[in-house]
């Protein structure tokens, strides 16, 4: 045996060993080999537009007849505790996934969707609190940027804006974005042991960057082409629901509005002072619990992203009696879907 034949022989033995090992172990992986085969079949029919939605009550209006049509061969795939719904919205092939509440769920579901499926872009939609006094409940906001407003460095009592934060000097934390001073909200005292929380950018590891070398981002932009399409939807208008019940109608017809900012965090905001702070500090319109997580995953995977959030309440700024979402969440969820369907059609005809 000369050396090349010996090497080739060794190579094929190695390949066989690796192949057996992979086949043998695939049954043990989080996604079974049977599911991987089904995913492969679904992907052959792609690419798809990914639709990511937080909760069932926001997804249901989309599943109604005439809006979403399930794929006749593979209507759903259940993988790792998530259901992926395959089908069409209008002529656009889509895969819908429900995330569940808040940032971790939203990030995990989005990453799974992008990792497993042939997805060329993501549209996220749902309801949100409103911090923008120029908009009303029922309006549908499409922000240009999303920021995670729940990543904080909580400063020790006695320290202030001129004191470095813990671990600031090695670049872990920053004072560049801004902070919330709890004592500004004291009634009547003017100081507070909770001191300051400083808003922090997320550490990100984008595709094409150096693995393990962090970058930072706070305001994550949506895709510029998707935003242009959203502006045409805003300009053309969408007929939206105005009345939660025959006797409970909004002051004017709801509108679609592209706005500057949305913020998300793992906190349900039903607090007027904090809503006003988020609007004053970051120009936030929509306040929710998922969009920035979806944005951050798409940003790192370099996949186009936009979020459509219908305003269901005033984040604590309205009635003193209760959060308006109790009355207006179904109307807002319905309006979000009306705009989503319009957006998907406009996007499909724009390319
Ligand atoms: C706190 O209130 C003071 C006085 O109104 C204001 O100048 C300052 O900007 C506020 N700081 C923060 C972080 O909200
Ligand atoms: C704040 O956002 C609104 C739209 O949501 C925009 O019209 C306005 O220019 C923004 N203000 C600043 C200071 O960026």
Residue 194: the pLDDT is 95
Q: What was the pLDDT predicted at 53?
A: 98
DSSP 136-157: -TT-EEEEEEEEETT-EEEEPT
In this prediction, what percent of the chain has a pLDDT beyond 90?
87
pLDDT of residue 17: 46
* Residue whose entry in the numeric block shows the structure tokens 């905001």: 269
The closest ligand to the CA of 191 turns out to be 1
Quick check: CB of 181 below 6 Å from ligand 1?
A: yes
Give Cβ neighbours of residue 313 (< 8 Å, ≥ 6 apart). Answer: 129, 130, 137, 270, 323, 324, 325, 328, 329
Q: Please tell me if the CB atom of residue 184 comes closer than 6 angstroms to any atom of ligand 1.
A: yes
Tell me which of 89 and 4 has the higher pLDDT: 89
| Residue whose CB lies within 8 A of the most ligand 2 atoms, among 260, 262, 285, for a mutation test | 260
Cα–ligand 1 centroid distance for 286 (angstroms): 23
Whether ligand 1 lies within 6 angstroms of the CB of 199 is answered as no
Residue 261 CA, ligand 2 centroid: distance in Å? 8
Residue 22 has pLDDT above 80, yes or no: no
Provide the CATH number for the domain formed by 33-147+217-272+286-350 in this structure: 3.40.50.1580
Work out the burial of residue 55: count CB atoms within 10 Å of its CB; fewer than 13 is exposed, 13-18 middle, 19 or more buried: middle
Which of the residue ranges 26-30, 93-97, 131-135, 240-244 would you say has the lowest mean pLDDT?
A: 26-30
Report how far ligand 2's centroid is from the alpha carbon of 31 (Å): 44
Tell me: pLDDT of 26 over 60. Answer: no
How confident is the model at residue 114, as a pLDDT? Answer: 98
Q: Which residues in 232-279 belong to E strands, given as ranges?
A: 243-245, 248-249, 256-264
- pLDDT, mean of residues 64-84: 96
Please answer whether residues 256 and 237 qualify as being in contact, where contact means their C-beta atoms are separated by less than 8 angstroms. yes
Q: What is the pLDDT of residue 20?
A: 47
Q: Is the pLDDT of residue 2 over 70?
A: no
Give the DSSP per-residue string, 152-184. Answer: EEEEPTT--TTSPPTTTTTTS--SSS-EEEGGG
What's residue 319's pLDDT? Answer: 81
pLDDT at 14: 46
Residues with CB under 6 A from ligand 2: 132, 259-260, 283, 285
Distance 138 CA to ligand 1 centre (A): 32
Ligand 1: centre distance to CA 302 (Å): 38
**Residue nearest atom 1 in ligand 2 by C-alpha distance:** 283
pLDDT tens readout for residues 141-158: 999 999 999 999 999 999
Residue nearest to atom 8 of ligand 1 (CA): 184
pLDDT, residue 28, reads 64
pLDDT surpasses 50 at 18: no
This prediction has a pTM of: 0.90
Span of 58-72, 100-114, 166-180, 316-330 with lowest mean pLDDT: 316-330
Closest atom of ligand 1 to CA, residue 196:
13
Domain regions of the chain by residue span: 33-147+217-272+286-350
**CA–centroid distance, residue 129 to ligand 2 (Å):** 17
Q: Report whether 94 contacts 68 (CB < 8 A).
A: yes
Q: Which residue has the higher pLDDT, 15 or 55?
A: 55
Which atom of ligand 2 is closest in space to residue 132's alpha carbon?
5
146 — phi, psi (to 5°)? -130, 135
Mean pLDDT, all residues of the chain: 93
Nearest residue CA, atom 2 of ligand 2?
Answer: 260
pLDDT over threshold 80, residue 11: no
**Using an 8 Å Cβ cutoff, are 149 and 263 in contact?**
yes
Point out the ligand 1 atom lying closest to the alpha carbon of residue 277: 14
Q: Report pLDDT for 3.
A: 52
From the list 293, 320, 295, the residue with the least C-alpha distance to 306 is 295
Confidence check: pLDDT of 101 > 80: yes
Distance 115 CA to ligand 1 centre (A): 44
Which of 259, 278, 311 to probe ligand 2 with, by most ligand atoms within 8 A of CB?
259
Confidence (pLDDT) at 315: 92
């Amino acid at each position: 045996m000369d050396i090349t034949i010996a090497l080739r022989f060794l190579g094929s033995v190695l390949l066989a060993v690796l192949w057996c090992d992979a086949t043998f172990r695939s049954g043990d992986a989080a996604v079974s080999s049977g599911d991987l085969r089904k995913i492969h079949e679904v992907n052959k029919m792609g690419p798809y537009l990914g639709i990511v939605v937080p909760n069932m009550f926001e997804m249901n209006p989309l599943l109604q007849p005439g809006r979403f049509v399930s794929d006749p061969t593979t209507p759903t795939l259940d993988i790792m505790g998530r259901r992926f719904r395959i089908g069409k919205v209008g002529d656009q092939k889509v895969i819908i996934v429900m995330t569940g509440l808040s940032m971790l769920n939203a990030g995990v579901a989005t990453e799974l969707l992008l990792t497993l499926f042939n997805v060329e872009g993501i549209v996220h939609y749902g309801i949100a609190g409103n911090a923008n006094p120029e908009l009303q409940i029922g309006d549908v906001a499409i922000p240009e940027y999303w920021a995670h407003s729940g990543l904080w460095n909580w400063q020790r009592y006695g320290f202030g804006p001129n004191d470095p934060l813990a671990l600031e000097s090695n670049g872990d934390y920053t004072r560049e974005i801004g902070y919330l001073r709890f004592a500004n909200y004291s009634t009547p005292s003017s100081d507070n042991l909770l001191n300051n929380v400083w808003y922090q950018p997320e550490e990100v590891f984008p595709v094409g960057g150096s693995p393990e070398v962090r970058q930072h981002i706070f305001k994550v932009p949506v895709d510029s082409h998707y935003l242009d399409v959203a502006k045409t939807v805003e300009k053309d208008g969408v007929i939206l629901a105005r009345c939660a019940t025959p006797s409970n109608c909004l002051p004017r017809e709801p509108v679609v509005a592209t706005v500057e900012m949305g913020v998300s965090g793992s906190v349900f905001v039903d607090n007027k002072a904090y809503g006003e702070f988020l609007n004053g500090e970051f120009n936030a319109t929509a306040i929710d619990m998922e969009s920035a997580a979806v944005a951050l995953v798409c940003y790192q995977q370099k996949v186009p992203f936009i979020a459509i959030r219908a305003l269901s309440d005033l984040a604590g700024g309205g009635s003193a009696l209760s959060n308006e979402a109790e009355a207006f969440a179904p109307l807002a969820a319905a309006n979000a879907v009306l705009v989503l369907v319009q957006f998907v059609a406009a996007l499909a005809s724009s390319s």
